Amino acid sequence: MSSEPIIEVRGLGKDYRIFDRPQDRFKQMLVRGRRKYYTEFPALRGVNLSIARGETVGIIGRNGSGKSTLLQIICGTLQQSAGEVSVQGRVAALLELGTGFNPEFTGRENVSLYASVLGLDDSRIAERFDSIVAFADIGEFLDQPVKTYSSGMVVRLAFAVIAHVDADILVIDEALAVGDAYFVQKCLRFLREFSQRGTLLFVSHETSTVLSLCDRAVWLDRGEVRDVGSAKSIVGRYLEGLYGDQDAEHAEAEKVATALAVTPEDYLDQRHDFINASNLRTDIRLLEFDPGAAKFSDGLADIVDVAFMEDGRRLGWMVGGEQVCLEVRCTSSVDLDRPIVGFFVKNRTGQYVFGDNTELSFRDAPVPLGAGQVCCASFEFTMPRLPVGDYSLDVSISNGTQDDHQMLNWKYDVLVFKVEAGSIVHGLVGIPMRAIRLEVEPPE
C-alpha cells in the first residue's frame, strides 16, 4: 500500500433543502433567494478524510448518517455544498440499485452501455464480454429487459461489469445485501483479490464484513466523522455506542432476580426442551453438495462429497443445539503419508464462524492415504445455535502437519445451509449451555 493519497476530502459539507409542501418549491423559484420557503438539512458537515492508494476503507454508521451522500460526492454523481474533493484514478461504483442501467434495455445491451460509461472502449468490451456474463451467471435473462429483473439479478449484472473495468478505485454501497449466498461469497473473494492491487471504499451495516475486508474504518454520525482508525477498533466503538443507546432506551425496566435449580444431564442445554418446543428453535435447511464449487487445487487430490449424516442417511434438515455428524470424502492421485481434512463454516459475508480439522486427533498416529483410495473424515459435534441467515462450508485436504503442510485442494462453498429460525439475535454463534444460574446472594 502506497502512502500517496488517492482520495482527499477537505471540509466537505452537503445541505439538502426540505420543502413542507410541493408548491413551496415553485415559490422558491419565483423569489430567487429573497425569501426561504425551505429548511436546510445538513447531510454532511466538515468531513475531512484522506485515503491512501491501495487502502481498503469501510464506512459505517446508522441510517441517515451521510454514508451514501459521501460516496456519491466522491464518485461525482452529487455536488457538495462546501469543501473540496480530489480523486486520482478511475472510479467504478455500485451505489443505488440499477444506477447506470436503462430498464428498457436487455442485460446484454446494458453490459455494453454500463461498461462504456465506466471507460471501456468497444474492443475491450467485446474482449471481456464472455467473462462478464459468466461472472453474472443470470442465464437466459441476459436477453430480457432489465425492468423484469429481481434486485439480486440487477446486482449480479452490475457487479460483474465493475469487476472487469480495470478500476483504480471501487466504491460499494450496501450492494451485497440483496445477493444470494453463492454470489455474495463470489463477490467477497473478488473484493479481497482487488484489495491487493486497488483501493476499496465499502459501506455496509454488516460490521462483520467490514472487519473481514477493511484495513481502516470511518464512523459517520449525523453527517460528521465521529472516529477514524483500524477497522477492529472503530467497529468496536460503533457497536458500543449503538448498543449503549439501545440500553439507555430500556434503562427504566425493572430487574427481578430469581434462582434456577439446575441439574445438568448428559451435557444437555437446560433450555433444550423449551427452545425446541417454541419458534426459537434453530431450524437449518441443508442444500445439496456442489461438486463443481470454486476451488484452489494443485490437481493431486479432490473432495468428492460433503454431507451431514445420520444413521447412514444424508440430512436435508437439522437443528442447532443438537448433535450432528459432518462427513467429508476425499481421494488422491498420489500417496499421502499425513493427510489432513478440515472444514470452515462461513456466514454470508465470508467471515469464518467455526471449523476444525483432523490433524491434532491423528498427529501421533497419521492415517496414510494411498493413490486412488478414498478417505472419509467425520466430525461429530454439537451444532451451535446460529443467527438466521445463509451459511456455507469451505472444505480442504492437505498433507503434512498443521505448521508445515502442502495444500492439495480447497473448495469454497461446497455446501450451503440456511438457518430459517432461531433464538440468537446478536453475535456469530450461540453456544449450548451446560448450566445457567442466577442467584441472589445473602446479605453479609
- What is the full DSSP assignment across 36-105? --SEEEEEEEEEEEEEETT-EEEEE--TTSSHHHHHHHHHTSS--SEEEEEE-S-EEEE-STTTT--TTS
Task: Name the band, by pLDDT with cuts 50, 70 and 90, for residue 342.
Answer: very high
Report pLDDT for 428: 82
204 Cα distance to chain centroid: 8
Burial class (CB in 10 A: 0-12, 13-18, 19+), 365: exposed
pLDDT band at 329 (very low <50, low <70, confident <90, very high): very high
State residue 31's pLDDT score.
Answer: 83
- In this model, does residue 216 exceed pLDDT 70? yes
Each residue of 71-130: pLDDT tens digit? 999 998 899 999 999 999 889 888 866 667 888 999 999 999 989 988 889 999 999 999
Q: Which amino acid is at 38?
A: Y
- Across 51-65, 67-81, 280-294, 369-383, least confident range: 280-294
Query: What's the pLDDT score for residue 267?
Result: 54
**Mean residue pLDDT across the chain:** 86
Which CATH superfamily, name and number, covers 5-241?
Answer: P-loop containing nucleotide triphosphate hydrolases (3.40.50.300)
- Check residue 224 and give its pLDDT: 94
Q: List C-alpha distances in Å: 141 to 51, 109, 408.
A: 38, 12, 37
Rounded to an integer, the average pLDDT of 32-58 is 90
Q: Name, in order, each residue with C-beta under 8 angstroms of 130's C-beta and a sequence gap of 6 or more.
A: none
Confidence of residue 240 (pLDDT cuts 50, 70, 90): confident
Continuous H helices in 100-180:
107-117, 122-136, 151-162
pLDDT of residue 57: 95
Q: Is the pLDDT of residue 190 over 70?
A: yes
Residue ranges, comma separated, of all CATH 3.40.50.300 domains in the chain are 5-241
Mean pLDDT of 223-232: 91
Interval 126-161: pLDDT, tens: 999 999 999 998 988 999 999 999 888 888 999 999
**CA-CA-CA-CA dihedral for 116, 120, 124, 129, to nearest 10:** -50
Rounded to whole angstroms, how far apart are CA atoms 114 and 107? 10
pLDDT band, residue 356 (cuts 50/70/90): very high
Whether the predicted pLDDT of 261 surpasses 50: no
Q: Cell match 472510479: residue?
A: 91
Residue 391 pLDDT grade (very low, low, confident, very high; cuts 50, 70, 90): very high
Q: Which residues of 24-44 are buried (b: 16+ CB within 10 A; e: fewer)?
A: eeeebeeeeeeeebeeeebbb
| Fold of domain 283-421 | Coagulation Factor XIII; Chain A, domain 1 (2.70.50)
Per-residue confidence (pLDDT) for residue 180, from 0 to 100: 74
Question: Which candidate, 393, 46, 429, places its Cα nearest to that of 185?
Answer: 393
What percent of the chain lies above the pLDDT cut of 70?
90
C-alpha angle 325-329-333 in degrees, rounded to nearest 5: 160
pLDDT category of residue 206 using cuts at 50, 70 and 90: confident
Quick check: 94 and 159 in contact, CB under 8 A?
A: yes
Cα angle value 176/181/187 (rounded, 5°): 50
Q: What is the pLDDT of residue 247?
A: 44
Q: DSSP state, 265? A: -
Is the model more confident about 175 or about 431? 431
Q: Decide: 398 and 407 in contact? Cβ < 8 Å.
A: yes
CA distances from 184 to 187, 390, 396 (A): 5, 10, 21
Q: What's the pLDDT at 212?
A: 79
48 or 2: which leads in pLDDT = 48
Mean per-residue pLDDT, 365-384 = 94
Least confident of 25-34, 210-219, 270-279, 325-334: 270-279
Instruction: Report pLDDT for 248.
Output: 47
Rounded to an integer, the average pLDDT of 357-364 is 93
CA 296, chain centre distance (Å)? 21
Its pTM stands at 0.66
Structure-block grid coordinates of residue 324: 450432528
CA-CA distance, 186 to 85, in Å (whole number)? 32
Which residues of the chain form CATH 2.70.50.60?
A: 283-421
